[in-house]
Every structure is written in structure tokens, then in C-alpha cells.
Amino acid sequence: MQRKNRNLKSQLFKVGFFFLIIGLLIFFSPTLIKIKEEVFEEMRLAIFQMNINKDNTTINDVNTENLVITNEETQILKEEPKQEKKTTYSYIGELNIPAIRLKRGFVSKESKYNDINYNITIANEADYPDVPAGNFILMAHSGNAYISFFDKLYKLQIGDQASVSYNANTYNYHLVKVYNQPKTGKVTIYRNSYVKTLTLITCTHEDDYNQTIYIFEEI
Amino acid sequence: MDLSIIDQLLKLLEIPFSSILMIEISIIFLLLYIFLVYNEKRESKKVKVFLSAIIIFFISALIFYFSDDVEFVLTEIIKTIMNCFYFPNIIFYFSTVIISLIMIIYTMLSSKLTKFNKIITYTFTLLHLFLFTNFITYAIINKTNLTNTANIYQNDNMYIIVFFSQILFFIIIIYKAIYHFCYIRKEKLKNINESDIMFRK
């Protein structure tokens, strides 16, 4: 009788333990998925950084002794085949906001992954960071989903810094303005058009009807 | 950092008395220690429960006070585990291979393990080693630098090989853990029953 009881207890303990593990996994699955995305993101960024370093090494290693000077026309002809539509997941740059520990890459405007459901998205109207007095506009979700890359933007304060790595250059910005607008499908950006700007757009924290615009100016 | 070991020990003794809060914390820990040691003589169940509750309360209070930091630390721990699973560096990957090798040798030499357990172990560990040899061969053919983790995972084929070998490794580890957990409990129950029978006799 005692043996039976002990066996039953042991079986119950195992089953209970198994269900406890399953329950914990289900309960924490959104958080775990988000962390998994971060891990993959970090690896993509590491690959992106590695390729940048490789490119820089290649540029530095160019042997100028036997350099053949070509005219502009031939250069243009040679460059034409490169202008293919990119569909790969390789990053062209990286956004870094240390105050909220945000570090995320972005793909080119032409890439199919330049989509709010995959990445931080570059707006079609945006200029790239190397354009003088340009406005580099990035958009992303905020909330609890794993694609909510801008979920901690609401913690930013005026003066906080951000940097964008693009084309092996780093552009540093600081936050100058934050304002809300209703979600109507359109956004008006108020900025100093003589200064290079970084604009981040996301949904307002704990508000379903508004969006927040963060204006950063180059330092 | 540049202090001698004696200076370091002296500093360590000074730290608990550096502020009132530190003295309070030291007293709490000292009391807990005395209670635990004293209870080993008395073996009171009530005290055990009470002390466990106090320890949990104390740890919870600390977690609540430093919630942001604790959340950050926990996230980093999970991230590290996930990194080891999805993108292990060559040192970790090589360590898993050594563990697999030890498992094979132990399984071959052990007479305690069941045949079923041995077959399962051979299947998974050999598959794991087979994938590792594929990985090394692929790296040699493509002249991949294995010291740079990003360089390994840039190549989809290498990522797939590592990913599946990690799955195999974790399955065998979980299997072994469950097997030993059940086996030990079974052995314990067996021993208890045997002692019961002896006692009755």
C-alpha cells in the first residue's frame, strides 16, 4: 500500500513538474520570442559590422601603383549592372540609441524587408543620412510584440543622443523635439530644414489614437 | 585592482561597516546564519518554513528595489543561453563535441545503462559528431575563419549545420537529465521499499 502511494506520489510529481515547465514556457513565450529576435538581430548587426570592416580593409588595401585611370563614361557603364533590386536581409546601416539600449539595423528602401513587420522602416520620403541637411525618417511599432522596436522611445528625454551608422560613417544626433499627432495616415514633420535631421515615428505609449514624432538634430 | 591580497582582505572586512544600511544587512545575514545552524540541532519544521519565507521575502524585496537591473540581468542570462543555442561560438561548439565524445565513451564502458538508453545515446551523439565533422570539412573547403562568430553564421550552410547539431545536443542532454532524474528517484524508492521490508522482517 505504502509502495503504491509512493509510486503515485512520484508519478504525480513528474507530471506536475512537466506541466509547470510547459506552463512557464507558455506564460513567458512573448518575452522569449522577443529575446530570440534580439539575439538574431545582434548577429545580423555583427555580420553587418564585419562586412563594413571588410570593405574598409579592401579600400585601404587598394594598390595605387598600377591604378588605371578611366573616364567617367566607362565607369558609369561598369557600375550599371550593380543597380539590381536588393531582396536580401543584409543591413545598410544601424541605429543606436544608448539611453534606451536600442541597437538595430535597417535595410535599404528598395529591400522587401524594409517593412514595418520585419524591421525599422525607412520612409519612402526620407533622405539617407549622408544627404546634407536631409531628413532621415525611420518608423517602427511600439507595444509588446517582438516587432515593437520603438517600444522604449517614450523614455527618451530632450538631449538624449542617437547615432546612425551608414556607408562606413557614423552620424551623431541629439533629441530636440517630441510631439504627438493623431493617427490619420499622414504625418507633418516640423524641423529645421537647414540642419541634418533624424526623425523617428511610432505609436504613442499607451494611446491607440496618436502617434509620436521624435526629432533629432545632428551634433 | 592593484592592491595586495592582505589589503584586499582588510578592505573586504571594512566594507560591511561602511554605512548603517550595510551594518543592518550584515546583521540580518548573521542572524539568518545563526538560526539556520541552531535549527540543525532542533530540526523544527516551523522554523524551516519561517526561515524559507524570510529568505524569499528578503530576496523579493531586493528584486523589487532593483527591478530594472534584475530584469536586465535576467534578460541577459536568457540572451546568453539563446546565443549559446542559436549562435554558439567555436569554443562552446567544440565543448559540446567534447561532451558528446565523453558521453559515447562512458556509454560504451558503462554496464549500468539499459540497451535502449545506449542506442539512443549512440544515435544522437554520433549524429552530433557527424555534423561537427561536416562543419569542420565545410570550413576547410571554404577557408572560413572560425574565430569570428559572425563569419561562421554569414554562411547559411554552416548556420544550418550548427543549428541542427545544437538541437541534437540539447535533446540528448534533456534526455539524459530526465533519465537520470527518473532513474535516481526510482532507485531511491527501491531502496526505501527494501529497507521497509527488512524492517518488517
The alpha-carbon gap from A3 to the nearest alpha carbon of chain B, in Å, equals 7
Where in the sequence is the domain holding B12, given as residue range(s)?
A: 5-65
Taking the C-alpha atoms of residue B140 and residue A140, their distance in angstroms, rounded to an integer, is 41
**Residue B78 belongs to some domain of the structure:** no
Same domain for B44 and B114: no
Flag whether B76 is in a domain. Answer: no
Closest CA to A201 of A145, A132, A154: A154
Same domain as B112, residue B44: no
Contact between residue A159 and residue A173 where contact means Cβ atoms under 8 Å apart: no
The pLDDT value given to residue B74:
87
**Top-ranked range on mean pLDDT: pick from B71-75, B108-112, B119-123:** B119-123
Nearest CB to A3 within list B149, B186, B193? B193
Picking from B16, B31, B65, the residue at the C-terminal end of a domain is B65
Per-residue pLDDT tens, chain A, 219 aa: give them. Answer: 666 676 777 778 778 888 888 898 888 888 888 888 888 888 887 887 777 666 555 444 444 444 444 444 433 434 444 444 444 567 888 899 988 888 888 888 888 888 888 888 898 888 898 888 889 999 888 877 777 888 888 888 999 999 998 888 889 999 998 998 888 878 888 888 888 999 998 888 888 788 899 999 998
Q: Is residue B93 domain-shared with residue B168, that is, in the same domain?
A: yes
pTM for the model stands at 0.63
Name the CATH superfamily, with its identifier, for domain A90-219: Sortase (2.40.260.10)
Whether residues B165 and B134 share a domain: the answer is yes
Domain assignment present for residue B41? The answer is yes
Distance CA A150, CA A178 (A): 14
Q: Domain ranges in chain A? A: 1-62, 90-219
- Same domain as B24, residue B101: no
Same domain, B99 and B53: no
For residue B67, the one-letter residue type is S
A to B CB pairs, distance under 8 Å: 42
Distance (Å, rounded) from C-alpha A107 to C-alpha A48? Answer: 11
Mutate to test the interface with B, among A34, A39, A41, A50 (most CBs of B within 10 A): A39
Residues of A near B (Cβ–Cβ under 8 Å) read 2-3, 6-7, 10, 14, 32, 35-36, 38-40, 42-43, 46-47, 49-50
Q: Which of B75, B189, B196 sits opposite A7 (nearest CB)?
A: B189
Residue of B nearest to A8 (CA): B189
Bridge partners of A182? A210
Residue position matching grid coordinates 534526455: B175
Count of structural domains, chain B = 2
Question: Which ipTM did the prediction report?
Answer: 0.71
